Amino acid sequence: MKKIPSVFRFQFVLITFLLLWSGASALDPDESNFGGMHSLSKYQGSDYSPSSLKSDLDPFIGDYPQMDSLYKIGPGDLFQIFFDASSVEKQVTPEGNIVLNRIGIIHLEGLTLTEAKKIILDNLQASYKRTNCFVNLSKPKTMRIFVTGAVNEPGVHQVPGNFRVSDALKIAKGFSVMAQKGNVRIQAVDGSVQTINLSKFLKEGDLQSNPYLTQGSVIQIPFLDFKQSWATIVRDSGSFIIQLVPGETVRDVIFKSYSLSPSDPYTAILVSEKDGKDTLLSPSEAAIYEPRSEARIEALPSKQKIFVAGAISKPGFIPYHSDYKIIQYISEAGLLTSSKISRKIEVIHKDGRREKLSLQSVLSPGDAVYVGQNFEQKFLIYTPVILSFVSLTLALLSLNGL
């Protein structure tokens, strides 16, 4: 048998190698520009589901299930396209496009992730006549945003493309104590402005009130406006000033303070209005009581103590004693005057129940006691106000007489 010259053997091997290489590189002949191919031979015969590939390829997974329909594609987004036994990565160019072999330019900027995936798959299936392919967003774009106003660390931040307003606030170290969270402004690079009520997201989980950000977004957190209604919230974790919105209840206001510090369970709420009126509320009553401007709202945490408030000299928590009766807790807190108090005292229990009990009743840990004002106490409180008004009236009359 005649031997094949070595030069022809070499050419045969080279041609075979090039044919195999070109077949494997059908999607992207220039791997140096687009990230190259990754063998998926060990997944052949499987369904190629993203979950089966996660441990090896770690595809990008959104922060919410709704991400595909809300996330907007932009320059820098990196797609991973799986095709038969291979994959290729394509990054969205500054013009908002990706380029695929045999297909050409596909414009994706501004589309949702759902729309972008569909367009890519439709083009692949039309050009290659195969259905064994799928697309993942393997890495979101990065973008520069600006956080200004009432935050602890305002400034410029480089963030991933799947950031929402709440994420931006987190890297800005959260709201400052003077922040107004119900009127957050987001300005896009085209000048359009969107105003959101972030409190609605914090309270109800409404994602429309916590949108995705875009390149160059400016997030402005307004400061409290003391010309408008406001209230002071007092909790174990601190004291906060909150802007009041018409129709808000005590529970709404307390919930707004949770974004400034972690929540803590409470048994009752003591509302002190500007005019000196105190009201002790159970959690259910807090859901309907609407505070007035400059009210002081104190959430009484659930403790193994008794809280005493109202017409007493030292309101606050008193250690629980199993043998103490209501009269003893009141005596320890001290009355404002020496006059008699009502025989029935208002008590809010740890479970939220409200009832009136006799002075000889025994309490349970976590109960709150409210001592109402009698005539003498009301006289002492309101007399200075009345006298001031009378003095001012007499002074004005004297000036008119001159």
What letter does residue 367 receive in the DSSP assignment? Answer: -
Predicted local confidence at residue 389, as pLDDT:
73
Model confidence band, residue 154 (pLDDT cutoffs 50, 70, 90): very high
- Which residues contact residue 380 at a Cβ distance below 8 angstroms, ignoring those fewer than 6 apart? 336, 337
Which pair of tokens denotes residue 95? 């013009």
Q: How confident is the model at residue 93 (pLDDT cuts 50, 70, 90)?
A: very high
Given a cut of 50, is residue 345 above it in pLDDT?
Answer: yes
> 334 near 313, Cβ under 8 Å?
yes
Beta strand pairing call for 266-272 and 193-196: unpaired
- At position 252, the amino acid (one-letter code) is D
Dig out the tokens for 127 from the structure: 């050009």
Q: Mean pLDDT, to the nearest integer, of 82-99?
A: 86
Name the percent of the chain lying above pLDDT 70. Answer: 74
Work out the average pLDDT over 301-307: 80
Q: pLDDT averaged over the chain?
A: 75
- Residue 52 reports pLDDT greater than 90: no
Q: Give the integer Cα–Cα distance in Å for 89 and 190.
A: 30
Q: What is this structure's pTM?
A: 0.48
pLDDT tens across 24-44, in order? 444 443 333 333 333 333 323
Domains identified in the chain and CATH numbers? 24-139 (no CATH), 142-221 (3.10.560.10), 226-302 (3.10.20.90), 304-402 (3.10.560.10)
Enumerate the H helices of 129-240 as residue ranges: 165-171, 198-204
Model confidence pLDDT, tens digit, residues 232-246: 888 776 777 888 888
pLDDT value at 399 more than 80: no
Residue 5 pLDDT = 56
- On the question of pLDDT at 178 being above 90, the answer is no
Check residue 30 and give its pLDDT: 37
Longest dimension (CA), the chain: 140
Contact partners, residue 338, CB within 8 Å, separation at least 6: none
Average pLDDT over residues 343-371: 86
Of residues 57 and 80, the one with the higher pLDDT is 80
pLDDT score recorded for residue 381: 58
Phi, psi values for residue 172, rounded to 5°: -90, 15
- Stretch among 22-26, 210-214, 384-388 having the lowest mean pLDDT: 22-26
Query: For residues 375 and 200, what is the distance between their CA atoms, to the nearest angstrom?
Result: 43
Among 47-51, 263-267, 282-286, 373-377, which range has the highest average pLDDT? 282-286
Cα Rg of the chain (Å, integer): 34
Check: CB of residue 164 under 8 Å from CB of residue 131.
no
Mean pLDDT of 76-83: 87
pLDDT confidence tier of residue 220, bands split at 50, 70 and 90: very high
CB-facing half-sphere around the CA of 42: CA atoms within 13 A: 5
User: Tell me: the pLDDT tens digits for 116-128?
Assistant: 999 998 888 888 7
Give me the pLDDT at residue 24, please.
43
Closest CA to 81 of 42, 130, 46: 130
What are the tokens at 36? Answer: 């190259």
Confidence tier at 62 by pLDDT (50, 70, 90): very low
Q: Which helix (H) or strand (E) holds 90?
A: strand 86-91
Distance in angstroms (rounded) separating the CA atoms of residues 153 and 147: 8
Distance between CA atoms of residues 182 and 172, nearest Å: 18
Closest by alpha carbon to 48, among 87, 103, 92, 74? 87
pLDDT of residue 379 exceeding 70: no
pLDDT tens-digit map of 243-292: 888 888 998 888 777 655 545 567 788 899 988 888 888 888 888 999 99
